């Protein structure tokens, strides 16, 4: 911006009372006083004429060009504030301070705050002519952040540990200044055992953010976080029609047929070594199973869960096929729930005190039933004094039903009819694979015919102690608190 200096009330003419004229001379509208505006006159020599009583005289004035002033702020004003030309001028605006010498200036983004700031540069030349220029500055530069390399922390006797920003931070710098630093996790317990990704977030005074991450490995040297359990259950499907001479053992037909997968069908997709399925006899593997630890006061809250393997004698073991199941949780009281892909899930009605020492939880004793709800398990077709998880939930909901509103049988029929090998769409076609519609876990899925799965569902519905009138439409409802 140019700021021409207008000279008011021209004088010097004599005798007074005359008229001034010339380029840049303006009448003040009173015919008596005159001004000279150098911005109208061009730079250089301008002649001003003074006329009085018909006589004229002239004089010359020199108009100097205004200084050309520019301001181009650097992209990083906080770090290298300048940009006004010619040098030697004065900066002003939000956050601008004189360094105390009148010649150098600093920009303080803390004072300016976030957002856009208009900075003015004013320069006065040796003729006393002043011009200004402005530019707009905004800090858009993110902080530069470095995190520490992966490190390890150990839980204390109370199974707790904590870290601060300084444990994660190597350095955090910013062109204008760092405002805040924070980490997303700072306290750790049994649930954090293993590797945890920690994110450090640094915010500059203008609100720009940058993050870095590191890996924190949480260890439990005192082994306060180990819970071990050995649940025991029977799956009714695998216990029906037992092998002769092995009446107390479930059948392991899936393993024998070589169709038992080494990857769990449940949500954690746990895997086991194929050699685990080489074991025969009482500890041979029947199927994958799902184990949940539930909160002592809110029995619908799942604290932890994992896939496990079921042995023929009912022991639920880890994926190595022999060990008890371990959870990285604080020793405490828990409910234990067991689920299977086509059987009704069950849960302990009472809490069980669990610790690093393996606790046996036997769901199979008909004379000491420990399950939540009513008729949560069945004795139908089972060995004496034994209860088993209800089979027949082929459609993976929370009821077993033969016919009616949500029956399981149509799923079996649909699976059979839609099988790629069933060219002629026989309902009697038998599929040999690992299938949720294989109600009796014999390795074959068949709707009707020589060895069908559907009659087991009807038998169960009719055998349920609550089905007084023997309706085929009766629903066996899964006895879990959320149902
Ligand atoms: Ca910045
Ligand atoms: Ca066993
Ligand atoms: Ca069902
Ligand atoms: Ca079957």
**Tens of pLDDT along 120-176?**
999 999 888 899 999 998 888 999 999 999 999 999 998 899 999 999 999 999 988
pLDDT band for position 363 (cuts 50, 70, 90): very high
pLDDT band for position 79 (cuts 50, 70, 90): confident
Beta carbons of 225 and 213 less than 8 angstroms apart: no
pLDDT band for position 7 (cuts 50, 70, 90): confident
Per mean pLDDT, which range of 29-33, 244-248, 290-294 is the poorest?
29-33
For residue 205, is pLDDT > 50?
yes
CA of 80 to the centre of ligand 1 (A): 13
Q: Which ligand is nearest to the CA of 403?
A: 3
Q: For residue 309, what are the contacts with CB-CB under 8 A and spacing of at least 6? A: 272, 276, 285, 287, 288, 289, 316, 317, 318, 319, 321
More confident residue, 32 or 482: 482
Mark 118-134 as b/e (b = at least 16 C-beta within 10 Å): ebbbbbebeeebbbbbe
User: In which residue are the tokens 């805040």 written?
Assistant: 180
Residues 452 and 349 in one domain: no
d(CA 347, CA 298): 13
CA of 197 to the centre of ligand 1 (A): 26
CA of 246 to the centre of ligand 4 (A): 19
CA of 418 to the centre of ligand 3 (A): 19
pLDDT for res 5: 61
d(CA 120, CA 361): 79
Let me know if residue 283 belongs to a domain: yes
288 by DSSP, 3-state: which?
Answer: strand
Q: Which ligand is nearest to the CA of 232?
A: 2
Let me know if residue 2 belongs to a domain: no
Residues 154 and 76 in one domain: no
418: containing domain: 399-477
Let me know if residue 269 belongs to a domain: yes
CA of 395 to the centre of ligand 3 (A): 5
More confident residue, 217 or 127: 217
Residues 154 and 256 in one domain: no
Instruction: Average the pLDDT over 173-202 and give the result.
Output: 94
Task: Classify the phi-psi angles of 334: left when phi > 0, otherwise alpha if psi is within -120 to 50, otherwise beta.
Answer: beta
For residue 31, is pLDDT > 80?
no
Q: Helix crossing, 409-417 with 454-463: angle to 10°?
A: 180
For residue 4, is pLDDT > 60?
no
pLDDT for res 3: 44
Tokens of 86: 């010619």
Beta carbons of 366 and 379 less than 8 angstroms apart: yes
Residues 276 and 349 in one domain: yes
pLDDT band for position 53 (cuts 50, 70, 90): confident
CA of 277 to the centre of ligand 3 (A): 29
Give the pTM. 0.66
Among residues 137, 155, 187, which one ends one of the domains? 137
R_g of the chain, CA atoms, integer Å = 44
Let me know if residue 16 belongs to a domain: no
Among 406, 413, 386, 412, smallest CA distance to 483 is for 406
Q: Which ligand is nearest to the CA of 407?
A: 3
The structural domain count of the chain equals: 4
d(CA 291, CA 319): 12
For residue 438, is pLDDT > 50?
yes
Q: In this predicted model, what pLDDT tens digit does every residue of 389-425 receive, in sequence order?
A: 999 999 999 999 999 999 999 999 999 999 999 999 9
For residue 296, is pLDDT > 80?
yes
Residues 373 and 255 in one domain: yes
Whichever domain contains 197, its CATH number is 2.60.40.10
Residues 286 and 407 in one domain: no
pLDDT for res 1: 38
Bridge partners of 209, per DSSP, are 203
Average pLDDT score over the chain: 92
- Ligand 1 (ion): residues with CB under 5 Å are 139, 141, 174-176, 204, 208
Residues 266 and 343 in one domain: yes
């Amino acid at each position: 911006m140019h700021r021409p200096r207008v000279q008011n009330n021209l004088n010097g003419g004599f005798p007074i009372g005359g008229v001034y004229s010339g380029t840049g001379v303006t009448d003040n509208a009173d015919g008596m006083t005159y001004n000279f505006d150098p911005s109208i006159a061009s730079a250089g020599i301008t002649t001003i004429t003074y006329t009085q009583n018909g006589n004229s005289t002239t004089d010359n004035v020199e108009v100097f060009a205004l200084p050309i002033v520019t301001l181009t702020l650097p992209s990083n004003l906080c770090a290298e504030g300048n940009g006004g030309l010619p040098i030697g001028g004065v900066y002003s605006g939000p956050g601008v301070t004189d360094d105390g010498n009148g010649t150098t200036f600093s920009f303080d983004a803390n004072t300016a705050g976030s957002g856009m700031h208009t900075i003015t540069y004013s320069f006065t030349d040796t003729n006393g002519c002043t011009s200004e220029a402005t530019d707009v500055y905004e800090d858009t530069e993110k902080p530069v952040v470095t995190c520490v390399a992966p490190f390890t922390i150990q839980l204390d006797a109370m199974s707790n540990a904590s870290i601060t920003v300084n444990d994660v931070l190597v350095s955090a710098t910013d062109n204008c200044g760092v405002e805040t630093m924070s980490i997303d996790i700072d306290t750790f317990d049994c649930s954090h055992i293993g590797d945890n990704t920690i994110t450090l977030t640094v915010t500059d005074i203008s609100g720009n953010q940058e993050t870095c991450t590191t890996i924190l490995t949480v260890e439990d040297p005192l082994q306060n976080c180990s819970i071990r359990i050995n649940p025991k259950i029977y799956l009714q499907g695998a216990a029906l029609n037992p092998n002769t001479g092995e009446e107390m053992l479930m059948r392991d037909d899936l393993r024998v047929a070589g169709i038992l997968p080494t990857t769990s069908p449940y949500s954690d997709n746990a895997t086991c070594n194929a050699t685990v399925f080489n074991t025969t006899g009482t500890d041979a593997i029947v199927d994958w199973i799902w184990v949940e630890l539930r909160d002592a006061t809110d029995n619908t809250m799942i604290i932890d869960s994992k896939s496990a393997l079921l042995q023929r004698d009912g022991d639920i073991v880890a994926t190595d096929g022999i060990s008890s199941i371990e959870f990285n949780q604080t020793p405490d009281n828990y409910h234990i729930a067991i689920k299977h892909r086509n059987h009704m899930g069950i849960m302990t009605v009472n809490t069980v005190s669990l610790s690093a020492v393996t606790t046996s939880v036997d769901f199979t004793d008909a004379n000491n039933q420990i399950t939540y709800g009513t008729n949560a398990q069945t004795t139908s077709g089972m060995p004496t004094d034994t209860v088993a998880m209800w089979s027949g939930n082929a459609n993976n909901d929370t009821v077993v039903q033969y016919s009616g509103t949500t029956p399981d049988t149509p799923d079996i029929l649909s699976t059979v009819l839609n099988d790629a090998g069933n060219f002629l769409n026989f309902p009697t076609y038998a599929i040999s694979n690992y299938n949720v519609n294989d109600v009796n876990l014999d390795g074959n899925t068949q709707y009707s015919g020589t060895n069908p799965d559907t009659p087991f569902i009807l038998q169960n519905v009719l055998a349920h102690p609550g089905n007084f009138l023997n309706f085929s439409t009766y629903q066996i409802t899964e006895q879990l608190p959320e149902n």
